[in-house]
Amino acid sequence: MESLSMYLALVIYLGLGTAVALFSRKFLRRDARDFYTAGGRFGTLLSSLSYAATTYSAFMFIGLVGYAYSTGVGTLGFELVYFVGTLFLLYYIAPKYWALHKRFGYVSPAEVLSERYGSRVVGATVTLLALVSLIPYASSQVIGVAIAAEGASGGAVPYTWAVVIAIVVALLWSVIAGIWSVGWTDVLQGMIMLGTGILMVLWVYLWGYSNASFDLASLGSLSYVPNQFWSFAVFLNMTVPWFFFAVTNPQVVQRLFAPKDRKALNGMIIWFGAYGLLFTVLVTLMGLMLRGMTLGGTFPLITYRDSVTPTLLGMAPLWLSVLGLVAVLAASVSTIDSIILTLSSMAVRDVLEPYRPSPSARTGLLVGRIVIVVLALACTLFALARPGFIVDLAVLSSSLLLPQAPVVIGMFVWRRGGKASATAAIISGFAVAIALYFLKLSPLGLPMNAWTLVVSTLVYVGAALVEKAPDGVEKFAGAWEESKA
């Protein structure tokens, strides 16, 4: 009966989502710019919920709940540093990206970097970096779905099946109408995620309260920092790449092209902020409450932290288990399809087209589809291997993308530097991140991500001091000024 209900719920979710995706086709104009960026025609609702659903993923429902349960309130600080950093960066950078798209029609985030730094090598480098770095992140979404499905169904929905379902749905919804189908299904999924999050927290609170076992004060060292896990070095290491997420992750940068006007763009920032703050507090509280209930004896002690939410779904009433599973699937799919779509656009615009001028539309489409399939296969294999915890995989992805931060920020605040500055900063930062990650070193007591940021920034600044910006850099500033008029 339970597995029947689970499969029925999944069929309804897939049917509804696919109907929404097909409905969205009526907005699609048949060109690449519209397919990947909506031609800058998203209103506030689509922009904000799509940005939120793309950003918030299984990382929140599975990873962050488990992290709060295992390590305490430091988890909230870690995620809220991301939140503050994102608002800070969006306030400055979102209007500039948006204005550049309006003025020059850029499709991929790497294309902007190529133009500013005067060489397509920069865009190709960023694209290769993104292709490598985002596989662990996309895979962690699939792992989240599969673990939740196993837990919620008591094993009736097997891990492998859940992996396949998540990948197929993400592929389907991204190819139906590109950003339009992804955006409209994001609206649906964003509402499912937040609504279910609220219901789950309410139910946990009432369940814990009625059993008189919920007490945050009993958490002891888990209720403050530093504690046995959240030393300052750990907190710094995890927050540095997360702080710059909004400018280093191409799937969210590309979303900045979509709003139809400045009002929609500002609305996107604010409504995303309201959504993100509420969602972050909800999932963190859920983890802390469940830990309090473990201490009170009404929730089992979980040692594998990614199993906290699946265990809860297995214990909850059937209606909540089903909703929870659908919400985790929605959170994952809304992120995976965006990543796949963005990487596909980057592969075509920043790797194929510069090195094979004027490819036919058919060739471009074929390469895009090949990239989508290869990425899907890579994510499937990665997810089936279950290489690590969801939060760790997500942070690893952001660590590898971090060397872009000085290059992107420098593009907007400094009129120096060209191809050599940008590529040297990215390659040196990436090399440092990889070396310190595998050697597990923290020279001078500074964590890996701090070194990555310091090295890439120093290389960028040092090289840009001696390398002039290419001709045409002024047109960037001109576009921003035009957008204010």
CA distance 67 to 283: 10
Q: State which H helix or E strand residue 62 sits in.
A: none
How wide is the angle at C-alpha 404 spanned by C-alphas 402 and 410, nearest 5°? 125
Phi (first) and psi of residue 42, to 5 degrees: -80, 135
| Bridge partner list, 196 | none
Contact flag: residue 144 with another protein (CB under 8 A):
no
Q: Which of 220, 297, 317, 472 binds another protein (CB under 8 A)?
A: 220
- Sign of the CA dihedral 232, 235, 241, 243? negative
Q: Which of 104, 232, 304, 355 binds another protein (CB under 8 A)?
A: 232
Contact flag: residue 198 with another protein (CB under 8 A):
no
Contact flag: residue 273 with another protein (CB under 8 A):
yes
Contact flag: residue 477 with another protein (CB under 8 A):
no
With CB under 8 A as the contact rule, which of the stretches 55-63, 229-237, 366-374, 443-451 interacts with another protein? 229-237
Work out how close the CB of 272 gets to another protein at its nearest, in angstroms, rounded to a whole number. 10
Structure tokens at 365: 């489409």
Residues numbered 9-38 forming contacts with another protein, rule: CB under 8 A: none
With CB under 8 A as the contact rule, which of the stretches 8-16, 183-191, 224-232, 351-359 interacts with another protein? 224-232
DSSP secondary structure of 11-46: HHHHHHHHHHHHHHGGG--SSHHHHHHGGG-B-HHH
Phi (first) and psi of residue 292, to 5 degrees: -60, -40
Q: Which of 107, 171, 269, 383 binds another protein (CB under 8 A)?
A: 269
Work out how close the CB of 308 gets to another protein at its nearest, in angstroms, rounded to a whole number. 18
With CB under 8 A as the contact rule, which of the stretches 7-15, 35-43, 219-227, 451-459 interacts with another protein? 219-227
| Bridge partner list, 416 | 468
Contact flag: residue 266 with another protein (CB under 8 A):
yes
CA distance 9 to 152: 12
Work out how close the CB of 281 gets to another protein at its nearest, in angstroms, rounded to a whole number. 6
Structure tokens at 368: 């895009």
Contact flag: residue 92 with another protein (CB under 8 A):
yes
CA distance 436 to 306: 25
- Sign of the CA dihedral 65, 68, 71, 77? positive
Q: Which of 27, 106, 214, 235 binds another protein (CB under 8 A)?
A: 235
The widest CA-to-CA distance across the chain, in whole angstroms, is 70
Residues numbered 52-81 forming contacts with another protein, rule: CB under 8 A: 73, 76-77, 80-81
List interacting residues with another protein (CB under 8 A): 73, 76-77, 80-81, 83-85, 87-88, 91-92, 216-217, 220-221, 223-226, 232, 235-236, 239, 266, 269-270, 273-274, 277, 281, 288
